[in-house]
């Protein structure tokens, strides 16, 4: 198989986490070796549906996911599980971006395949930490907010690049430093080390979203800043949350004026 879109669909559809990790790493290696490439004759993408994932965790509305304190191993395991669930979803999101949106430059596909490979590595780190805490992926309930946004933006690459990496995944840049401080207060250095790796590497993932969102806007003759804010208003409604990690977001390609407007918009939703 040399078609990258077909390989992406195979990674996306696989339900077993271990197989998804293996296929993801293999596809990235093959792309780097020149053995996979986007094929313009690949079958058109199917309508978006549920991605490949195991029977557990049980998916519940976000407000029903319990919040536990970090003073116990159980509470810390719940936090690690929540981040692992985000990373598992991020593998699927990256591969869907490769599979669904056709006719993009080669660097677009390389960026998102690279992100999938990183997210798979992050998931492995978190799964190993969960095992050290006496748990496994699927032991706690989780929500489906990331994939729900993927479904809402499946019709257009511009909306997908704006709202998944630059809003939902960028939220990790905002909240992870606080998680690290809370974990430091209870002395959980192993989890802190993992989150520091993820925080550092997620900047590059959000930057990929910024890069390709702006590329889409330039292609379509759109003002990137105004288009982004319009999409946030249309899709996020009153669900936009601040405050924002300005230094990390600036590294990820946001500009000061954009962040000022985003902050105003977040404050207006309360």
Q: What is the pLDDT of residues 99-114, one digit of tens each?
A: 999 999 999 999 999 9
User: What pLDDT is stored for residue 1 in this prediction?
Assistant: 64
Choose the CATH number for 77-268 among 2.40.440.10, 2.160.10.10, 3.30.200.20, 1.20.1260.10: 1.20.1260.10
Give yes or no for a contact between 119 and 87, defined as CB atoms under 8 angstroms apart. Answer: yes
- Closest CA relative to residue 24, chosen from 36, 40, 41, 38: 36
The Cα 11–Cα 115 span in angstroms is 13
The Cα 80–Cα 219 span in angstroms is 40
This model's pTM is above 0.85: yes
Q: Which residues of the chain have pLDDT under 70?
A: 1, 269-270
The Cα 40–Cα 200 span in angstroms is 34
Peptide bond into 243 cis (omega under 30): yes
User: What pLDDT is stored for residue 269 in this prediction?
Assistant: 62
Angle at 89 between CA 70 and CA 253, to 5 degrees: 90
**Alpha carbon separation from 235 to 12, 84, 167, 221, 261 (Å, rounded):** 24, 25, 10, 21, 16
| DSSP 8-class letter at 101 | -
Q: What is the pLDDT of residues 64-90, one digit of tens each?
A: 787 778 888 899 999 999 999 999 999
> What are the residue ranges spanned by the domains of the chain?
77-268
């Amino acid at each position: 198989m040399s078609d990258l879109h077909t390989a992406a669909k195979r990674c996306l559809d696989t339900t077993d986490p271990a197989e998804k990790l293996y296929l993801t790493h293999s596809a990235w290696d093959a792309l780097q070796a020149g053995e996979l490439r986007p094929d313009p004759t690949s079958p058109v993408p199917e309508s978006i549906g549920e991605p490949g994932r195991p029977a557990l965790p049980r998916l519940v509305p976000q407000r029903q996911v319990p919040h536990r304190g970090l003073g116990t191993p159980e509470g810390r395991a719940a936090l690690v599980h929540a981040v692992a669930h985000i990373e598992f979803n991020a593998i699927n999101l990256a591969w869907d971006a490769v599979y669904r949106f056709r006719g993009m430059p080669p660097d677009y596909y390389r960026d998102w395949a690279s992100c999938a490979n990183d997210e798979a590595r992050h998931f492995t780190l978190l799964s190993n930490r969960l095992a050290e805490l006496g748990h496994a992926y699927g032991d706690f309930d989780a929500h489906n907010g990331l994939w729900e946004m993927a479904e809402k933006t499946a019709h257009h690459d511009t909306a997908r690049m704006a709202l998944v990496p630059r809003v939902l995944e960028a939220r990790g840049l905002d909240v992870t430093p606080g998680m690290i401080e809370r974990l430091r207060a209870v002395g959980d250095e192993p989890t802190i080390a993992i989150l520091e790796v993820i925080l550092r590497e997620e900047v590059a993932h959000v930057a990929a979203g910024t890069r390709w969102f702006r590329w889409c806007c330039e292609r379509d003759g759109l003002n990137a800043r105004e288009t982004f804010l319009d999409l946030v208003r249309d899709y996020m409604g009153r669900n936009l949350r601040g405050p924002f990690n300005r230094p990390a977001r600036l590294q990820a390609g946001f500009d000061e004026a954009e962040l000022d407007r985003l902050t105003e918009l977040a404050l207006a939703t309360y």
